[in-house]
Amino acid sequence: MIPLLLILIPLLSGLAVFLLKDSPSTKSLAFVSSLATLVLSLMAVFTKGALTYDAAWLPGLGSRFSLLQDGMSKMLSLLTAISFPVVFAATYKNVYQRSSAFYGLMLLTQAGLLGVFLASDALLFYFFWELALIPVYFLCSIWGGEKRIAVTFKFFVYTFIGSLLMLVGLLYVYAQTADHSFAMQSFYHANLPRHAQGAVFALFFIAFAIKMPIFPFHTWQPDAYEQSPTAVTMILSGVMVKMGIFAVIRWLLPMVPQAVHGHSMFVVILSVTGMIYASLIAIRQDDIKRLIAYSSIAHIGLMCAAIFVQNQIGLEGVMIQMFNHGINVIGLWIVADVIEQQLGTRKFSELGGLAQKAPVLAILFVIMALANVALPLTNAFVGEFLMFNGLFQFNGWVAAIAGISIILAAVYTLNMIQKIFYGNTVEKTLVAVEVSGNVQWVLSILVLVVLVMGVYPQPMIELTKDTVSAIFANR
Amino acid sequence: MNAIIVSALLGVVMMFSGILLKNKSSLKYIAIGGLLLLLIANLFQTYGVYTIVVNSHDLLRFQKFGLFFNSIAITATLIYVILSGKDIENVGNYPAEYFALIFFVLCGVSILCGFNSLLMLFLGIEILSIPLYILTGADKRNLKSNEASLKYFLMGAFTAGIMLMGIALIYGATGSFGITSPVFINTPTPGSAPKASFLEIAGVLLLFVAMCFKVSAAPFHFWTPDVYDGAPSVFTSFMATVVKAAGFFAFIRLMEGQSAILGPTWKILLSFVIIATLLIGNITAVFQQSVKRMLAYSSIAQAGFMLFALYSFNDVAKEGILLYAAAYSLATIGIFAVLIKLKDYTLDGFNGLAKTEPVLALTATICLLSLSGIPLTAGFFAKYYMLASVVKTGSGLWLVIVAVLFAAVSVYYYFRVIQAMYFREGVSETTEITSGFKTGLIFVAALIVLIGVLPSLLLNYFYF
């Protein structure tokens, strides 16, 4: 029942908020709804074993409304459930025109995301995959920056082409299943012939690679992150990119194992190229949002590479890092949003010496940024260590090249800290004041998560263990 | 048989009610009542409650598939009249005749749903087309409307000639007009090579060309943009939905038996037509500034998808064409109903509609999402069934990939309208909008979403 409620609560409250008249209470209603989802997802985490829900949906097509919440789904639904209240709280002061529509669409996005993470029926998965996209399209296009319309449309067309190719793949595998069903297990056991595996792999992988995004499909991402309203950017980069990684682990790996094996080197090289490439570009950025966007591409690239090396330790690293990257990147966005709201600029060249004006913010931000570099004792260290370990077992050279990105990450992150928070105060930062209480609270909670997960990551490894071992048991 | 007789009678009734009634606005309600009656008559035959028996000497043969399709066409017309009835009255001075002509078109549709002979096919097509020539030119003082009507008539007459030639050749080769007679199908028996005479093949090809013209498949689509653009918008809506779907139904029914004659050439020929249709429809639609003209090209593009049913000819395709007809008609009727209310048909005319008329903008958005085939709308399952039917045949996966790429192109021009409504500044001017009209639109949008979530609701009626 919990998986169903996890989707229904944001869906119904989203529709309700969407239809309400604009008033301050819509904000509170959205916040309460997201808290309810959080409680439910925590309940799921503390329940032993996988949770399922199953109901008839399209009998003629062999598709059922079936949900599965195993370790990976529990972890990702927890991430989704944490993100939304955090985002709502951190941007509580932001005023949106037509706020009911804004919060309604946000909650609908959450429903779509949770659906993607919980669906265990391929057609249902496809439905939620799209349901997560449509509200985001409207959110970015209505409340975004100056170039929002063109940029968001690019993002939409990219992902839509990907999902259509995935649809073709779904149809093909469906036609090959023994019992003509979209059920996950039928898809796993579809027994595709070897030559077909390559085609199916390509169709699915392009869709997921666009969503992650993996070089060279990443060009929509920095623009979209920059132009979207920050609340949406947080969701995009914190949770939505995990859809691609999740989908690879949930659908691609077990469905076409031979093709994954055959293409592993190719994908790993693509990912590592993307990591280095994005890190180099990040160094040259003068805009906080764009810098975080490129750094995000680098991190996602590492996760994708670690999946395709196909060893247990790499996959465990990915599981932990999916959660931690979400927490860290949302923390960075919150600070970026605070700076932009307060000072009206995101350019490093117009900032400096903010630490003198806002010491608390500076401390919290520095911890978040160090987690972004994956310093030991922060949460990201654990994940990155495991992933690099996996990469090294796969191929030492590749791991060595990928390792350069750690140094590059330190370069751009420390550079950012220095330019924003240290040095002399400039004209714009003279008026800066300490951030409000709610942002301090939210950031403190995130920092707490960063430190706790950095010191004691074992529960997260335990939580996702069943998914990891199921994947390696199948081959 | 029920629908043919009742629709013809109702057409006559509508004609006379124009003379007898002074009040123009009551005509709409008579038409709605008539359509309900027609629907009930058709359902009576579908479920065997009561059927008017006329011995047609096997010229007509009614099956559930056809009758069900007819019900969809009648229901679509009903929704169309409820939404746009008022605008039909405002086209010219003789509204009663317009409604009468619509009933005659439905009579043609009913014949096409049950034809079992090439003669009946020809009659059905003509009964369907001739009222449309008149409706296209209904706006008498508008030069474009006149031009469109003449163009449509000339091209239509030309096609009728081609079709008759094809029928004559086939009759010459087989000595029969039946579409299911054994001579005609010429099924290759194992062990002997199929022998179709040259005359027969030529005849089938001519029929194919004529039907391609009727459903505006490229390269026989040239009349479509001009006619759809020139005709009064209300009638464009009707032409692009009910009439087009009926054309497709006839096309499928005709070719199901016949395509075997062409052997493997059939699929090659059809792939060419499908790709040409998708290419021309989608690419040209991208460059349109007028939304009305864009919808004309988009209807060509949608025809490309419907042609998949002819590629696969299996159960999935049959269910799919029913769903496609319903989904596409609903969405197009909805978007045209909104378009008619606007004063400016260009994209700029839609600017800021979300602020001035949020209900119209939201429902139009759902219609556009359905046309582009986004999940949760009926349009998704329509496209899904079409693609699935081809995948099921085991060949033509490349065709499916080409088609989905064109579907991605279609997103571009459909979403431009959404962008204009929601994201661009402007004051969209509309004529007066009643709350009844809004309720109707919301009903259409709800229906689109409902079919989009549970397509089995619609398809189950097909089996029970």
pLDDT at residue B462, as a whole number: 65
Tell me what the mean pLDDT of segment B301-316 comes to. Answer: 89
Q: Can you read off the two tokens belonging to residue A11?
A: 């869906």
Residue type, A171: L
Tell me what the mean pLDDT of segment A318-333 comes to. Answer: 90
Is there a contact between B459 and A160 if contact means CB atoms under 8 Å apart? no
Percent of chain B at pLDDT above 90?
Answer: 44
Is there a contact between B408 and A161 if contact means CB atoms under 8 Å apart? yes
By mean pLDDT, which of A356-370, B269-283, B362-376 is the weakest?
A356-370
Residues of B in contact with A161 (CB under 8 A): 405, 408
Is there a contact between A172 and B387 if contact means CB atoms under 8 Å apart? no
For residues A300 and A328, the answer to whether their CB atoms sit within 8 Å is: no
Query: Residue A260 — very low, low, confident or very high, per pLDDT cuts 50/70/90?
Result: confident
Is there a contact between B388 and A156 if contact means CB atoms under 8 Å apart? no
In a domain, B411, yes or no: yes
Distance between CA atoms of A156 and B169, rounded to whole angstroms? 51
Query: Each residue of A378-388: pLDDT tens digit?
Result: 888 888 899 99
> Could you tell me how far CA A67 lies from the centroid of its own chain?
20
Tell me what the mean pLDDT of segment A10-21 comes to. Answer: 86
> Could you tell me how far CA A342 lies from the centroid of its own chain?
27
Query: Residue A271 — very low, low, confident or very high, per pLDDT cuts 50/70/90?
Result: very high
Tell me what the mean pLDDT of segment A50-65 comes to. Answer: 84
pLDDT at residue A356, as a whole number: 80
Measured in degrees and rounded to the nearest 5, phi and psi for residue A182 equal: -95, 5
Tell me what the mean pLDDT of segment A219-223 comes to. Answer: 85
In a domain, B147, yes or no: no
Residues in chain B: 464
3-state secondary structure A441-467: HHHHHHHHHHHHHHHCCHHHHHHHHHH
Q: How many C-beta atoms lie closer than 10 Å to residue A379's C-beta?
A: 26
In a domain, B165, yes or no: no
Burial of A195 (0-12, 13-18, 19+ CB in 10 A): exposed
DSSP labels, B386-410:
HHHHHHHHTS-HHHHHHHHHHHHHH
Query: Each residue of B438-454: pLDDT tens digit?
Result: 899 999 999 999 998 88
Distance between CA atoms of A52 and B134, rounded to whole angstroms? 60
Q: Is A198 on the interface with B (CB under 8 A)?
A: no
Q: With H, G, I as helix, E, B as strand and everything else as coil, classify residue A287.
A: strand
Distance between CA atoms of A217 and A310, rounded to whole angstroms? 22
By mean pLDDT, which of A95-104, A198-207, A215-224, B455-464 is the weakest?
B455-464
Mean pLDDT, rounded, of chain B: 87
pLDDT at residue B21, as a whole number: 81
pLDDT at residue B191, as a whole number: 54
Query: Residue B195 — very low, low, confident or very high, per pLDDT cuts 50/70/90?
Result: low
R_g of chain B, CA atoms, integer Å: 21
Residue A431 pLDDT > 80? no
Q: With H, G, I as helix, E, B as strand and everything else as coil, classify residue A121.
A: strand
Total beta-carbon pairs less than 8 A apart between chain A and chain B: 69
Is there a contact between B415 and A172 if contact means CB atoms under 8 Å apart? no
Residue A57 pLDDT > 90? no
Query: Which ipTM did the prediction report?
Result: 0.87
Count: domains in chain B: 1
Chain B residues whose C-beta is within 8 A of a chain A C-beta are 319, 369, 374-376, 384, 387-388, 391-392, 394, 397, 400-401, 404-405, 407-408, 411-412, 415, 419, 422-424, 454-456, 459
pLDDT at residue B194, as a whole number: 55
Residues of A in contact with B412 (CB under 8 A): 157
Q: Can you read off the two tokens belonging to residue B441?
A: 């639109």
In a domain, B390, yes or no: yes
Query: Residue B184 — very low, low, confident or very high, per pLDDT cuts 50/70/90?
Result: very low
C-alpha dihedral sign at B183, B185, B188, B189: negative
Percent of chain B at pLDDT above 70?
Answer: 95
Query: Residue B464 — very low, low, confident or very high, per pLDDT cuts 50/70/90?
Result: low
CA angle A345–A291–A204, rounded 5-degree value? 130
Residue B327 pLDDT > 90? yes
Interface of A with B in 403-432 (CB under 8 A): none
Residue B188 pLDDT > 60? no
Query: Each residue of A77-125: pLDDT tens digit?
Result: 999 999 999 888 888 777 788 888 888 899 999 999 999 999 989 999 9
A51-58 and A63-69 beta bridge pairing? antiparallel
Residue B333 pLDDT > 90? yes
Q: Which domain holds residue B453?
A: 264-464
Q: Can you read off the two tokens belonging to residue A315?
A: 């996959």
pLDDT at residue A177, as a whole number: 85
Minimal C-alpha gap between B423 and chain A (Å): 6
Of residues B307, B445, B462, the one with CA closest to residue B389 = B307
Minimal C-alpha gap between A219 and chain B (Å): 18
pLDDT at residue B280, as a whole number: 92
Residue type, A202: A
Query: Each residue of B70-121: pLDDT tens digit?
Result: 999 999 999 999 998 888 888 888 888 899 999 999 999 999 998 889 999 9
In a domain, B353, yes or no: yes
pLDDT at residue B182, as a whole number: 46
Q: With H, G, I as helix, E, B as strand and everything else as coil, classify residue A97.
A: coil
In a domain, B269, yes or no: yes
Helices in B216-262 by DSSP H: which ranges?
Answer: 223-230, 233-238, 244-258
A-chain residue closest to B380, CA distance: A127
Of residues B126, B113, B39, the one with CA closest to residue B74 = B39
Residue B186 pLDDT > 60? no
Mean pLDDT, rounded, of chain A: 87
When comparing pLDDT for B256 and A430, which is higher?
B256
Specify the long-range contacts of residues B89-93, CB closer than 8 Å, at least 24 apart.
Answer: B89/B24, B89/B25, B89/B27, B89/B28, B91/B138, B91/B139, B91/B232, B91/B234, B91/B235, B92/B138, B92/B139, B92/B140
Distance between CA atoms of B47 and A395, rounded to whole angstroms? 69
pLDDT at residue A423, as a whole number: 79
In a domain, B109, yes or no: no
Q: Can you read off the two tokens belonging to residue A311?
A: 């060893």
Tell me what the mean pLDDT of segment A334-340 comes to. Answer: 85
Query: Each residue of B125-176: pLDDT tens digit?
Result: 999 999 999 999 988 888 989 999 999 999 999 999 999 999 999 888 888 8
Query: Each residue of B20-49: pLDDT tens digit?
Result: 887 777 888 899 999 999 999 998 888 888
Q: Can you read off the two tokens belonging to residue B49?
A: 């409650």
